């Protein structure tokens, strides 16, 4: 396994928090039975199960460019179809009724090109449904960027902020309007109830913090970087009176019909 590949077990540790947006997104898709569905960036297959539960009679493919994620999905759900697929570059010789993508497109550059690729994957009456985290709006992301800019870390972590592509709702509306006739865009603020401030660190270690940690030389440096992030988390996300911690998480959704 590539040392920088995703860690499905760590990712699934916070499955309850991560799955909510898929449930909410699927609930807003107005379609009786899409014949063929593709879940782009399916990860370990967690979002795909929400699609399977809603549309048990559809043909559903889970697609992801991480070998570790596809291996985990295949092991946990051997009767479903999983493919290694890079959504930014690979082509599929097929058309779908629903292209679904939860918590993935922020990892893929050039959303103008990507939305066109998604539209091209759809049949004439197809639906696109996407959710992405508004990571840059969170105090946590600002704190991580600030730490990364410190002298000790700035060379190693140079350019990592630019690995995430997150645009405004106005951007998505304008680009979607080129290919879709009906567009529904909304945001939701989740308030995840975390056991502790360290749980926030643990939750983002396998996602938003991952590309920063990957650039550091060794476990010792990773530990030092994480300690600084945890100090900031303690300032930004105070303890509630019962000792738990609220972790606000804003997410942008869109559902577009051709």
Ligand X SMILES: C[S@@+](CC[C@H](N)C(=O)[O-])C[C@H]1O[C@@H](n2cnc3c(N)ncnc32)[C@H](O)[C@@H]1O
List residues near ligand X by CB under 6 A: 6, 18, 22, 41-43, 46-47, 64-66, 69, 85-88, 102-104, 107-108, 207
Length of the chain (residues): 258
User: Do the Cβ atoms of 54 and 33 come closer than 8 Å?
Assistant: no
By beta-carbon proximity to ligand X, the closer residue of 154 and 186 is: 186
Q: How far is the CB of 135 from ligand X (least distance, A)?
A: 11
By beta-carbon proximity to ligand X, the closer residue of 157 and 207 is: 207
User: Do the Cβ atoms of 48 and 73 come closer than 8 Å?
Assistant: yes
By beta-carbon proximity to ligand X, the closer residue of 140 and 153 is: 140
Question: In a 3-state reduction of DSSP, which class is residue 252?
Answer: strand
Residue 5 DSSP one-character state: S
Tell me how far apart the alpha carbons of residues 237 and 231 are, in angstroms, rounded to a whole number.
10
Q: How far is the CB of 252 from ligand X (least distance, A)?
A: 14
By beta-carbon proximity to ligand X, the closer residue of 43 and 126 is: 43
Tell me how far apart the alpha carbons of residues 159 and 179 are, in angstroms, rounded to a whole number.
32
Taking CB positions, which residue lies at the least distance from ligand X?
43
Q: How far is the CB of 174 from ligand X (least distance, A)?
A: 23
Tell me how far apart the alpha carbons of residues 242 and 1 are, in angstroms, rounded to a whole number.
41
Q: How far is the CB of 157 from ligand X (least distance, A)?
A: 19
Q: How far is the CB of 215 from ligand X (least distance, A)?
A: 17
By beta-carbon proximity to ligand X, the closer residue of 103 and 115 is: 103
Q: Which residues are CB-contacts of 54 (< 8 A; sequence separation ≥ 6)?
A: 26
């Amino acid at each position: 396994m590539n040392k920088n590949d995703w860690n499905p077990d760590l990712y699934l540790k916070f499955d309850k928090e991560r799955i909510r947006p898929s449930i909410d997104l699927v609930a807003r898709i107005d379609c009786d039975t899409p014949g063929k569905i593709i879940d782009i960036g399916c990860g370990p297959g967690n979002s795909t199960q929400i699609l399977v539960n809603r549309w048990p009679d559809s043909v559903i493919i889970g697609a992801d460019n991480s070998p570790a994620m596809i291996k985990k999905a295949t092991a946990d759900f051997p009767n479903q179809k999983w493919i290694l697929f890079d959504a930014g570059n690979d082509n599929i010789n097929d058309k779908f009724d629903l292209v679904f993508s939860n918590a993935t497109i922020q990892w893929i550059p050039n959303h103008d090109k990507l939305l066109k690729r998604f539209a091209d994957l759809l049949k004439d009456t197809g639906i696109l449904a996407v959710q992405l985290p508004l990571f840059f709006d969170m105090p946590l992301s600002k704190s991580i960027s600030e730490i990364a800019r410190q002298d000790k870390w700035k060379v190693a972590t140079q350019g990592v902020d630019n690995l995430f592509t997150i645009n405004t709702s106005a951007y998505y509306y304008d680009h979607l309007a080129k290919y879709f006739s009906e567009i529904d865009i909304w945001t939701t603020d989740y308030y995840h109830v975390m056991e502790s401030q360290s749980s926030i660190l643990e939750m983002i270690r396998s996602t938003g913090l991952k590309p920063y940690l990957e650039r550091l030389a060794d476990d010792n440096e990773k530990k030092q970087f994480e300690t600084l992030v945890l100090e900031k988390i303690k300032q930004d996300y105070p303890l509630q009176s019962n000792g738990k911690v609220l972790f606000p998480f804003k997410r942008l959704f869109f559902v577009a019909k051709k």
